[in-house]
Amino acid sequence: MSLARIQVPASAKRGEVIEVRIAIQHAMEAGFRYDNNGRTIPKNVINTLVARYNGTEVFRAELGSGISANPYLQFFMTAEASGDIEFSWVDDAGERGSERAAIVVVG
């Protein structure tokens, strides 16, 4: 499974809009490169990424080969209750990945 790193603030106030960042190790193979035998390396990119905050979807990205290798995304969300933000993704080859990070919300 692809390695991923998530960055969220250590803690947030209820109602605060916080920044969430994720970086995933994935070649995002566009399908235009050749191997040493001259054959095209088939396209395989992460095509869907979903973020759920305490089980509810807060962000969804449909990605194409125009997204750089080792994709990096930053977005925002409103901190409501302490819990988890969980990312899950799937690539063209059907390989799934997921990663989660804890969020502490005060107030």
Partner 1 sequence: MTACLLAIVILAACSTQAAQPVPLKSGVEFASADVRSLQQDDFANPGMLWVTRGAKLWLEPAGSDGKACGTCHGDANRSMKGVASRYPRIDSVSTGLINLEGRIQQCRERRQHAPLMAYESDELLALTAYVASQSRGIPVNVEIDGSHRAHFERGRAMYYQRVGQMNLACTNCHDANWSKKLGAETISQGHGNAYPIYRLEWQAAGSLQRRFRSCLSGVRAEMFPYGAAEYLDLELYLAWRGQGLAIETPGVRR
Partner 2 sequence: MPTRRQFVHAAGTLAAASLLPLDVAAQSDPFAPLIADFTGGAPIKQGRVTLDIPELADNGNAVPLRVSVENDMSSASHVQRITILSEKNPRPVIGTFHLTPRNGRALISTRIRLNGAQRLMAIAQLSDGTYWSASADVIVTSSACWDES
Q: Which residues bind partner 1 (CB under 8 A)?
A: 3, 5, 7, 21, 23-25, 27-28, 68-70, 72
The reply on whether position 27 binds partner 2 by CB under 8 A is: no
C-alpha span between 71 and 14 (Å, rounded) = 29
The reply on whether position 84 binds partner 2 by CB under 8 A is: no
C-alpha span between 50 and 47 (Å, rounded) = 10
C-alpha span between 8 and 38 (Å, rounded) = 43
3-state secondary structure of 82: coil
The reply on whether position 101 binds partner 2 by CB under 8 A is: no
> Toward partner 1, which CB reaches closer, 72 or 75?
72
Please count the residues of this chain forming the interface with partner 2, following the rule CB under 8 A.
28
For partner 2, the binding residue among 76, 93, 104, 106 (CB under 8 A) is 76
For 66, counting Cβ atoms within 10 Å of its Cβ (0-12 exposed, 13-18 middle, 19+ buried), the class is exposed
Judged by the rule CB under 8 A, the positions of this chain that interact with partner 2 are 17, 30, 32-34, 53, 56-69, 71-78
